[in-house]
């Protein structure tokens, strides 16, 4: 029996994806690095349908790969035979629970939709990403997304109160109740946050909301060195009394890539730039004066929302501008903030020794120590650049590991970096990960050949 006939007897017609253009879009990953080959694409309309699908796949040992907005950057949703499970129709949004400051949504909801639902209720969902108009909540949870507000609100792991998950055998575990405290046994939701779809299918989540910031201050500052940037971060942390939301690092090269793409003039000219934001309170009124007193003279404070949006546009356009320019070898890394300066200096030296013409486009969330460290080779602007990927990765990742950092900060491991996981985790940790995977998914049908080396 064909897979179409097998599933059509259990699912409705609109859960069987047959539009060739839609299928083709799902099979090509965002960076156009990987092209999938699915035997069938399914789009369930309910958790019960997901359970039916998983029971069939469990019984027949059919591989299943969940896919959300297809915005992943590490090949985490690629498939070679089996079921590609599109979760876009699990997009229900329940009314905001104002008493518990939370909202329960389906995993197929766009991040932007959740942000807007919270805003309409006078509350705030703080996860903010450049792809928020297309990425889905399930994918954000599966990759433990970070974004620009981690400094104050944490990663996605910190924003999830409860999860509903369908296991590989079709059983469902659900803890969507908005409990802010629960010490009754292990908190199993954390198994699935950051698991990249290898342990089960996330179908719904209850998410924390916060008071909507009444007024924010947005500042652009120039710095000559990474150490200057860190000194500025420490100064703002000390004097903002916890209201600092974001602290973004932008190298000169990264700024120019974005500014040239937008055909605009950068606000300032320096080796390094900081874009940061804090919630305005009586305690923060003297912050600009304090910065000037400590030698940070080249600062610009947005005077209105248009100026604020223009500054953030320069930051958020960097990745898209890079893509339009050509192929880059990208790295999503994190280090302790105290080690960032040493890493940047050493890695730049090592890269330029191996690739004299390489352009290092560095930007990221300095406030939590995570960086996007991308290498552009002007002589190889197309996919021929990938012939140097292993060599460049080795240079960058060895420098990261020497400083005690991680090679996967917020984009996950996927297929792209799974062979590096053994350098990040010791044998006991890897054995425990494999044991959990083996217990839940003994036939390895859930997103096979990802994450685990």
Closest listed residue to residue 291, CA positions, set 211, 212, 237: 237
Q: Which two tokens stand for residue 336?
A: 């302790």
Q: What span, in angstroms and rounded, lies between the C-alpha atoms of 39 and 36?
A: 10
- pLDDT of 1: 62
The domain defined by 326-416 carries CATH number 3.30.70.380: no
Number of other CB atoms surrounding residue 407 within 10 Å: 20
Burial state string for 280-316 with b = 16 or more CB within 10 A and e = fewer than 16: beeebeebeeebeeeebeebeebeeeeebebbbebbb
* 209 Rama class: left (phi>0) / alpha (psi -120 to 50) / beta: beta
Q: β-strands 40-42, 83-86: how paired? A: parallel
Q: Which two tokens stand for residue 407?
A: 């090679």
SS3 153: helix
Q: What span, in angstroms and rounded, lies between the C-alpha atoms of 37 and 114?
A: 31
SS3 319: helix
Domain-wise residue ranges, the chain? 3-86, 102-211, 216-320, 326-416
Q: Which two tokens stand for residue 323?
A: 């893509």
Number of other CB atoms surrounding residue 41 within 10 Å: 20
SS3 202: strand
Q: Are 229 and 249 in contact (CB under 8 A)?
A: yes
CATH architecture of 216-320: 2-Layer Sandwich (3.30)
Q: What span, in angstroms and rounded, lies between the C-alpha atoms of 438 and 434?
A: 6
- pLDDT of 397: 97
Give me the CATH code for the 3-86 domain, please: 3.30.43.10
Q: What span, in angstroms and rounded, lies between the C-alpha atoms of 34 and 20?
A: 18
What pTM does this model have? 0.94
Q: 33 to each of 36, 43, 176, 290, 419, how far by Cα in Å?
A: 10, 24, 36, 47, 17
**C-alpha 354: how far from chain center:** 30
Q: What span, in angstroms and rounded, lies between the C-alpha atoms of 104 and 191?
A: 19
Number of other CB atoms surrounding residue 376 within 10 Å: 21
Q: β-strands 40-42, 359-365: how paired? A: unpaired
Dihedral sign (CA 222, 227, 232, 237): positive
Q: Same topology for domains 3-86 and 102-211, yes or no?
A: no
pLDDT along the chain (453 residues), means of 10: 90 96 93 91 98 98 97 93 97 98 98 98 95 96 96 96 98 95 94 98 98 93 96 94 93 97 92 96 87 91 95 96 96 97 97 97 96 97 96 97 96 94 94 97 97 90
Strand partners, 208: 102
Q: Are 38 and 23 in contact (CB under 8 A)?
A: yes
Topology (CATH level 3) of domain 102-211: 3.30.465
Q: Are 216 and 279 in contact (CB under 8 A)?
A: yes
Dihedral Cα 110, 111, 114, 118, nearest 10 deg? -160
Q: What span, in angstroms and rounded, lies between the C-alpha atoms of 187 and 321?
A: 41
């Amino acid at each position: 029996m064909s897979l179409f006939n097998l599933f059509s007897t259990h699912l409705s017609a609109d859960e069987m994806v047959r539009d060739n253009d839609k299928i083709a879009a799902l099979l090509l990953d965002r960076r156009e690095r990987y092209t999938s080959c699915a035997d069938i694409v399914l789009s369930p309309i309910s958790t019960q349908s997901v359970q039916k699908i998983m029971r069939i796949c469990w019984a027949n040992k059919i591989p299943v790969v969940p896919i959300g907005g297809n915005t992943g950057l590490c090949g985490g949703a690629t498939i070679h035979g089996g079921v590609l499970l599109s979760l876009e129709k699990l997009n229900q949004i329940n009314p905001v629970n104002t008493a518990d400051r939370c909202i329960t949504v389906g995993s197929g909801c766009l991040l932007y939709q959740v942000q807007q639902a919270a805003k309409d209720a006078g509350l705030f969902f703080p996860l903010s990403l450049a792809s928020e108009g297309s990425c889905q909540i399930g994918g954000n949870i599966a990759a433990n997304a970070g974004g620009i507000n981690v400094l104050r609100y944490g990663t996605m792991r910190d924003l999830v109160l409860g999860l509903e998950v369908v296991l590989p055998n079709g059983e469902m575990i659900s803890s969507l109740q908005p409990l802010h405290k629960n010490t009754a046994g292990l908190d199993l939701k954390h198994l699935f946050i950051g698991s990249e779809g290898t342990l089960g299918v996330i179908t719904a989540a209850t998410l924390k909301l916060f008071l909507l910031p009444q007024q924010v201050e947005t500042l652009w500052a120039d710095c000559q060195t990474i150490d200057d940037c860190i000194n500025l971060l420490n100064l703002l942390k000390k004097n903002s009394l916890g209201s600092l939301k974001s602290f973004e690092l932008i190298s000169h090269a990264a700024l120019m890539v974005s500014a040239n793409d937008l055909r605009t003039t950068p606000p300032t000219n320096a080796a390094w730039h900081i874009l940061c934001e804090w919630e305005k309170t009586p305690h923060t009124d003297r912050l600009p004066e304090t910065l000037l007193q400590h030698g940070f003279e080249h600062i610009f404070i947005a005077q209105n929302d248009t100026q604020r949006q223009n500054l953030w546009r320069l930051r958020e356009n960097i990745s898209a501008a890079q893509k339009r320019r050509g192929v880059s070898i990208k790295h999503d890394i994190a280090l302790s903030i105290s080690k960032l300066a040493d890493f940047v200096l050493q890695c730049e030296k090592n890269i330029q020794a191996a690739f004299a013409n390489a352009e290092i486009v560095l930007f990221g969330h300095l406030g939590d120590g995570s960086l996007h460290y991308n290498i552009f080779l002007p002589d190889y602007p197309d996919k021929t650049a990938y012939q140097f990927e292993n060599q460049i990765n080795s240079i960058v990742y060895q420098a990261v590991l020497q400083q005690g950092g991680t090679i996967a900060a917020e984009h996950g491991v996927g297929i792209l970096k799974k062979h590096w996981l053994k350098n990040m985790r010791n044998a006991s940790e890897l054995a425990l990960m494999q044991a959990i995977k083996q217990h839940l998914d003994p036939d390895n049908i859930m997103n096979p050949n990802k994450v685990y080396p």
